[in-house]
Structure 1
Amino acid sequence: MRNLVILGAGTAGTMMANHLISKLPKKEWKITIVDQYETHYYQPGFLFLPFDIYTTKQVKKKGSKFIPKDVRYIQEKIELIEPEKNVVQLEKSGELAYDILIVATGTKIAPEEIDGMAGPEWYKSIFDFYTYEGAKALRNKLREWEGGKLVVHITEMPIKCPVAPLEFAFLADSYFKNKGMRDKVDITYVTPLGGAFTKPKATKALHHLLEEKGIKEVTDFNIERVDYENKKIIDYADIEIEYDLLVTVPTNIGDALIERSGMGDDLNFVPTDKATLQTKDYENIFAIGDATNLPASKAGSVAHFEAEILEENILRYIKGEPLKAEFDGHANCFIETGGGKALLIDFNYNHEPVEGTFPFPGIGPLNLLKESRMNHMGKMAFRWIYWNMLIKGISIPFVSAKMSEKGKHLEETV
């Protein structure tokens, strides 16, 4: 009996378990998935939790519910990966051997990386919304907040879901309008990038929306520290931005397990071939989702597309066949813009998000890089798709893993 081990039962790991269980011969292969946490979170829902759009029950479920019954599920902390020995060390159970390893350990926030961020004002006047705890605490704060200077801030790239901070700023604008207190709130969007987003075409459209909604934009801001006593964030050029409420996206780093195992880069992300998803240092170890160092968005849709490619490459590896270099960095993201509307962007390693239609060329029904009510409905429907299709490894109809070029006005990335 040979062993395939998946580390992490989040979005990417759970999808891979579901993809592979029906593909590997049960008499020859045992699949094991390891994760120390009992709860599975719908992380895109954290964006909506602070604004009381979603409830806490809508963004979390018991993780074991989504693990196939023929997959061995170990709920335990992973101490170490020893790739030279082909074993994983678990906190209680000891050694777990593997023939193939899939690393799906995700990414976490590290507010302690910035001086003053994780200090005594954490979850008082400084909040994240990239964790369940942070989003819930921010919801409670916003319910009673009477206004002032709201700063939405990104520490550094890469981050999970690069559009989420923008969405937060847009939804905050709508939230305070609906509460009849928008005139009491000054919203500033602060980013280390030269513009609102990582891609120039989308940046132009998103900058226009920030202006339209009266949201100030500060670019090229590389934070050095948080002066929580005087409520200021300060960058390396000594530029200061005052806040009454700071909503920040801290540094995103890979799991500490990767650092302990000596397998990661400076941010604990696993060096991975961007087209095959095989790790660069170990041929029988593959990585997927936020755990990788790929130059693709760290988002659930990307992990979904990666999973379809990785499934085939795992089967090819087992058969001794050449791996397919087919993952093209495909990302497909709804961007909630407030007021019951959203944008949709579709891009990959080579192409900018541009205008066109999706998923059917010339028909849509969704328009790319244009605000619409239909796109908002798509964003809201995604939660159902996530729980019922995505993490169960079910392909989304008419949406291919590789980016379709039909019906789009394509431009190469710079």
Structure 2
Amino acid sequence: MRRLVVLGAGTAGTMVVNRLRRRLDRARWQITVVDQDDTHVYQPGFLFIPFGTYQPGQVVKPRRRFLPAGVDLVLGEVDRVDTAANEVLLTGGRRLPYDYLVIATGTTPRPDQTPGMLGPLWRTAVFDFYSLDGATALTRAMERFDGGRLVVHIVDMPIKCPVAPLEFAFLAEAYLRRRGVRDRVEIVYATPLPGAFTKPIASARLGSMLDERGIVVEPDFLVERVDGESKALVSYDEREVPFDLLVTVPLNMGADYIARSGLGDELNYVPVDRHTLRSTEHDNIFAIGDANDIPTSKAGSVAHFSVDVFADNFRQHVDGQQMTGRFDGHANCFVESGDGKGLLIDFNYDTEPLPGTYPAPLVGPFALLKETARNHWGKLAFRWLYWHLLLPGRPIPLPAHMSMAGKHRPSTKEK
């Protein structure tokens, strides 16, 4: 009996076990997935909770519901991976031997890594929304906020769902306008990037949208600490950004057991071949989703498209064949822009987000880098697709590799 152990039953881990359970002979393969609890959260929904679009109960379901028959779920915390012995050690002392290991424990906000962030202002004037508790607490803060300086802030890249801070700024601006208090609020977007996004065409488009909404951008802002007494972000070059309400995206890091196991980089992400997702150090270890160091967005779409490639590659690998699939870094993200509209971006390792239509030329139905109501409804509809198609590993008629069909490079006038 060959043993596959998957660490993490989130988006990537759940898709992996659903795909591989169908491909691997049940008489020859034992599949075990490990996670700390039985609670699966729909993380894209966190963005909507502070504005009342979703309630917390709408983004939480049991993990076991989405795992196929014949897969063992072990609830426990990983202490470390012993790569020499091919074993996973849990904190209670249990050992899980493996022949192949898939690391899918994602990335987690770490407010403890920024001095002062977890001070007396935490969850009173300083909030995050990348966790269920944080998004829920921020709901009450947004309801009470009726004037002053709102700062939306990113500590450093990479972060999961890198467009979410922009979306929060857009949604907050529209929310405050609907409440009739927008004229009493200054909104600042403080980012370590030189602009609104990492790629020039999208950055220019998103930056112009911030300008249109009167949202001030503080670029190249690398925070050194949060000063709780003066209520200000302080950067390494001694710039200060005062706030009345701070909505921050803390530093994101991979799981601590990855460091203890000697498997990760300085942020606990596992170095992998960016096309096959196999560890650069261990032939029988793969890292999927947000847990690896591939140079693309840490987004659910990346997990989806990469698992499409990985599942066939894994079958070839364990059969002693060369892996023929090559993941191209494909990612796409809906970007909520407020007032019932949104954008869509679609890109990969080599091609930045471009205008056009997706997935089909001309007919779309979604517009790229253009605000439409259809994009907004597409984002809301994705929650149903996530629970009913994506997690169970059912086919979704979208190509894993990015296509240039429907895209075009903008002219100088369009830019």
TM-score by length of 2: 0.97
CA contact (8 A) 1:222 1:235 kept: yes
Quote the offset at 1:395 in angstroms: 2.6
- The DSSP-based 3-state class of the residue aligned with 1:262 is coil
- In structure 2, what is the equivalent of residue 344 of structure 1? 344
For 1:27 and 1:236, the matched residues in 2 are separated by 58
- In structure 2, what is the equivalent of residue 202 of structure 1? 202
Q: What are the within-5 Å matches in structure 2 for residues 146-225 of structure 1?
A: 146-225=146-225
Residues 273-323 of structure 1: CA deviation (Å, up to 9, x unaligned) = 100010100000001001001101000011000111110111011111111
For 1:128 and 1:325, the matched residues in 2 are separated by 38
- In structure 2, what is the equivalent of residue 234 of structure 1? 234
For 2:147 and 2:89, the matched residues in 1 are separated by 50
Quote the offset at 1:410 in angstroms: 5.1
For 1:283 and 1:410, the matched residues in 2 are separated by 40
**How many residues align structurally?**
410
Quote the offset at 1:145 in angstroms: 2.1
TM-score by length of 1: 0.98
CA contact (8 A) 2:148 2:185 kept: yes
Quote the offset at 1:147 in angstroms: 2.1
- In structure 2, what is the equivalent of residue 295 of structure 1? 295
Quote the offset at 1:45 in angstroms: 0.4
CA contact (8 A) 1:332 1:346 kept: yes
CA contact (8 A) 1:351 1:410 kept: no
- In structure 2, what is the equivalent of residue 402 of structure 1? 401
For 1:339 and 1:249, the matched residues in 2 are separated by 23
- The DSSP-based 3-state class of the residue aligned with 1:172 is helix
Quote the offset at 1:78 in angstroms: 1.2
Amino acid at match of 1:184: R
CA contact (8 A) 1:13 1:104 kept: yes
For 2:408 and 2:144, the matched residues in 1 are separated by 46
Amino acid at match of 1:19: R
For 1:217 and 1:145, the matched residues in 2 are separated by 21
CA contact (8 A) 1:170 1:338 kept: yes
For 1:382 and 1:93, the matched residues in 2 are separated by 40
For 1:176 and 1:77, the matched residues in 2 are separated by 41
For 1:329 and 1:337, the matched residues in 2 are separated by 25
For 2:228 and 2:38, the matched residues in 1 are separated by 34
- The DSSP-based 3-state class of the residue aligned with 1:346 is strand
Amino acid at match of 2:47: L
- The DSSP-based 3-state class of the residue aligned with 2:302 is helix
For 1:110 and 1:223, the matched residues in 2 are separated by 14
Runs of 4+ with >6 A deviation: none
Residues 316-375 of structure 1: CA deviation (Å, up to 9, x unaligned) = 111111112510000010000001000000000000100111111121111111100111
Unpaired runs of 5+ residues, structure 1, are none
CA contact (8 A) 1:233 1:241 kept: yes
For 1:233 and 1:395, the matched residues in 2 are separated by 45
For 2:49 and 2:251, the matched residues in 1 are separated by 21
% identical aligned pairs: 52
Amino acid at match of 2:105: T
- The DSSP-based 3-state class of the residue aligned with 2:23 is coil
CA contact (8 A) 1:352 1:410 kept: no
For 1:268 and 1:189, the matched residues in 2 are separated by 27
| Farther off after superposition, 24-33 or 139-148 | 139-148
- In structure 2, what is the equivalent of residue 47 of structure 1? 47
- In structure 2, what is the equivalent of residue 105 of structure 1? 105
CA contact (8 A) 2:310 2:325 kept: no
Residues 75-125 of structure 1: CA deviation (Å, up to 9, x unaligned) = 111111011111101223611111110000101111111110111111110
- In structure 1, what is the equivalent of residue 413 of structure 2? none
- The DSSP-based 3-state class of the residue aligned with 1:22 is helix
- The DSSP-based 3-state class of the residue aligned with 2:142 is helix
For 1:146 and 1:356, the matched residues in 2 are separated by 39
For 1:119 and 1:69, the matched residues in 2 are separated by 45
CA RMSD of aligned residues (A): 1.0
Quote the offset at 1:47 in angstroms: 0.5
Unpaired runs of 5+ residues, structure 2, are 411-415
- In structure 2, what is the equivalent of residue 354 of structure 1? 354
Amino acid at match of 2:9: A
- In structure 2, what is the equivalent of residue 20 of structure 1? 20
Quote the offset at 1:63 in angstroms: 1.1
For 2:328 and 2:409, the matched residues in 1 are separated by 15
For 1:82 and 1:409, the matched residues in 2 are separated by 49
| Farther off after superposition, 343-352 or 136-145 | 136-145
- In structure 1, what is the equivalent of residue 89 of structure 2? 89
Quote the offset at 1:207 in angstroms: 0.5
